[in-house]
Structure 1
Amino acid sequence: MNLRPFGVGIVGAGPVVQAIHLPTLARLRDLFAVRNVMDVSPDVAAAVSRRVGASASTSIDELLADERVEVVAVCSPSAFHASQVIAAMRAGKRAVLCEKPFATDRDQAEQIAEVGRETGVPVIVGAMHTFDPAWLAASSEWESLAGNAHTIRSRVVLPPNARFETSATEVLTARPASGLPDLDDPTVRASMVFGGVLGLAIHDLPLIRRLLGPVDDVAVVSASALSPWGYEVGLSTAGRLVHAIGALTEQWRPTWELEVVSDSARMLLEFPPSYVHAGSAVATITTSDKTVRFGPYPHNGYEGEWRALHAIASTGSASAPPIESLIDDLVFAVDVATASSDAAREGEIR
């Protein structure tokens, strides 16, 4: 494997880049060096690029023309992901990391796949839990001993963290107070659930899809908007149940858990909260005769995805995740979000 640092071009320099990717890359200086930071705001591009000694750009064409940029991280708003991923692939970069979701629908994802076949440029999606070393170790163990899961629970409870956001994102101003959402409005409920699924639940949906195995028909059996902000969604497929809840609250005890139950075993994954640079998740698998624990490992999924990107850029597309699997993850997430949103529109506040 080629261990020299690859030059990184970052497209979009908002909070995720400032608070997550740049600190992660600072720990991986032997693997990556940020060469160019692009943002449509010249002030943001200049301020963020200054932090890492990189060039500043205000257009993706300018960034892609920089010969020092070998890998590209697409961190812009999701509506721009597909076109920017395709542009980076056509520019002949070694690999592309795209924040989730990497497209807004199947058609866009299929366009990315087609360009990938033409150019040979691999793409990975920055769903950090799929790269968490505790998940990778525990899921392999689970497959070998536990059989099919019949119940999966995803539970995400996050407090606000304005102090960290302010210290980590130098160019952000404070978020304006917008008041509580009107959950008596069906459109507000639908929007909250749709955004919650594609904003929080999407971190765990690729894991859930893998645990469920092939799924032909997933039904949303319940969906609610939670006050003041959150979602609760129930899914059913082939007699198996998935319950996902996510909430932002004022309490201080962040929780991010994925629990999986089969007839013979239980697995509990406890992930660190998002925006936190800690170690990996901790996974515990319990059967009738033993308990096996995985983690915490020194690095988390944020670092894991960049390490995976370096390995792929070094060795070529053969080591990249199959694009068909990324498309299936996307379609699963969008279908769940859409059906849950529709159900919440007709439902009640909880």
Structure 2
Amino acid sequence: MKIALVGCGAVTQAVYAPLLSRRRDLFEVTAVCDLSRTLADAVGDRLGAPGRHTSLDAMLEAGGFEAVLVLASGSHGDTVRRALAAGHAVLCEKPLALTRAEVAALPEGRLMVGYMKQYDPAVRRAEALLAELGGPEAIRSVEVTVLHPSGESQLAFANLTRAGDVPADLVARLLEQEDALVSRALGEQAPAQVRALYAVALGSICHDLSLLRRFTGSPAEIGHVETWGNAPGSVEISGPLPAAGRFSIRWHYLEDYPAYRETVAIHHDAGTLELAFPSPYLMNAPTVLTVVSGGESRTEWREVTEAFEVQLAAFHAFADGGQPPLTGRAGALEDIVTAQRVAARYAVQHGLPIGGEAA
């Protein structure tokens, strides 16, 4: 399948470029696009892509590919809209967008949203075990803890090419557009701490929201939200699960923490299913599933199959054969709605203004 990449930054260089290099049985990268010509050339050289662009319109007009991977930072709504309108299948990294309106504006087409943890073999096994236990109704609680060091420390091994050739006025204009989208989501008067919380919810905690969607369904209510520490700081979110039990998410940005760690513990009457995730940038580092059952029996299961690679293969099966993805536009919209509920609950608790879609 001939594909094009939009965005040649950290996640493309550290994750997608190595995987696409070794999965040439599935994909041929024929075009890349980035605001930085330096990054476009670096990734294009690495993957042998003849098309190098700094404009999405120019890339779409040139064509020569069947599908588009949207890997840039920020909201992806407009990029996805244009790629779908041009008739391409699209794999879009999370979040799909910053607003519900952007999702509503998307045309019909083949869209898969990338939450690679959903494709992790350990997660799929946990889903199967949970189904054997009785499904969401068997859950007493889901408890998530994320210890998040700086992105720089997580990516120190990757020897990234840096962009220094994007005009400052273009960057400023894009940041203004992004801020306008956040204002549409949260209201013009939403203060900095509410905006920062929304950024964390959609940029990182959304992975855990996507797992809740798989295990239990999206929370219909957010009961409590708190933040502390210098932004992005720490975030605590809790509330009832849709079928039974409750959930809690504790997310901590720890600048100098030695290594990324994320645990998701599903407690039920007869034991616990616990997932421990490594840094997402470490290819083929295993996620460990620990099963605790009666009589203090503990079983560990790990698999070195890379979740991002499974996700790429699933996209090929979706775009080429119509096999439904684990998250399409409906699931991505659920996560946007949940993130807006998180921001709204925090604002209400603290007497802060909230408007826009979140109101």
Q: 2:318 matched to 1:315? A: no
Of 132, 144, 152, the residue aligned with 1:154 is: 144
Q: How does 1:169-208 map to 2 (within 5 A)?
A: 169-172=160-163, 187-208=191-212
1:65 counterpart residue number: 61
1:210 counterpart residue number: 214
Per-residue deviation, residues 75-95 of structure 1 (Å, max 9, x unmatched)? 22333x1121121112122x2
The number of aligned residues is 319
Shift of 1:221: 1.3
Q: How does 1:238-249 map to 2 (within 5 A)?
A: 240-249=246-255
1:226–1:232 contact (8 Å) kept in structure 2: no
2:95 counterpart residue number: 101
Shift of 1:201: 1.0
Unaligned residue ranges in structure 1 (runs of 5+): 1-5, 174-185
Identity %, equivalent residues: 27
2:95–2:332 contact (8 Å) kept in structure 1: no
CA distance 1:335–1:42, shift in 2 (3 Å): same
Alpha-carbon distance in 2 for matches of 1:56, 1:137: 40
2:197–2:232 contact (8 Å) kept in structure 1: no
Structure 2 SS opposite 1:78: coil
Letter of the 1:14 counterpart: G
Alpha-carbon distance in 2 for matches of 1:133, 1:92: 31
2:285 counterpart residue number: 279
Alpha-carbon distance in 1 for matches of 2:200, 2:211: 17
1:21 counterpart residue number: 16
Range with greater deviation from structure 2 (331-340 or 65-74): 331-340
Of 113, 128, 131, the residue aligned with 2:119 is: 131
CA distance 1:322–1:192, shift in 2 (3 Å): closer
Range with greater deviation from structure 2 (100-109 or 319-328): 319-328
CA distance 1:91–1:276, shift in 2 (3 Å): same
Alpha-carbon distance in 2 for matches of 1:151, 1:132: 21
Letter of the 2:150 counterpart: P
1:176 counterpart residue number: none
CA distance 1:229–1:332, shift in 2 (3 Å): closer
Range with greater deviation from structure 2 (162-171 or 259-268): 162-171
CA RMSD of aligned residues (A): 2.7
Alpha-carbon distance in 1 for matches of 2:103, 2:87: 19
Q: How does 1:10-49 map to 2 (within 5 A)?
A: 10-49=5-44
Alpha-carbon distance in 2 for matches of 1:302, 1:107: 28
CA distance 1:167–1:283, shift in 2 (3 Å): closer
Q: TM-score, normalised by structure 2?
A: 0.79
Unaligned residue ranges in structure 2 (runs of 5+): 165-189, 353-359
Letter of the 1:128 counterpart: M
CA distance 1:249–1:42, shift in 2 (3 Å): closer
2:187 counterpart residue number: none
Shift of 1:38: 0.4
Of 218, 223, 228, the residue aligned with 1:225 is: 228
Structure 2 SS opposite 1:270: strand
Per-residue deviation, residues 131-162 of structure 1 (Å, max 9, x unmatched)? 11110121121122154323222211133363
1:250 counterpart residue number: 256
Letter of the 1:145 counterpart: L
Q: TM-score, normalised by structure 1?
A: 0.81
Q: How does 1:289-328 map to 2 (within 5 A)?
A: 291-295=298-302, 297-316=303-322, 318=324, 321-328=327-334
Shift of 1:337: 4.2
Extract structure 1 runs of 4+ deviating beyond 6 A. Answer: none
1:193–1:225 contact (8 Å) kept in structure 2: no
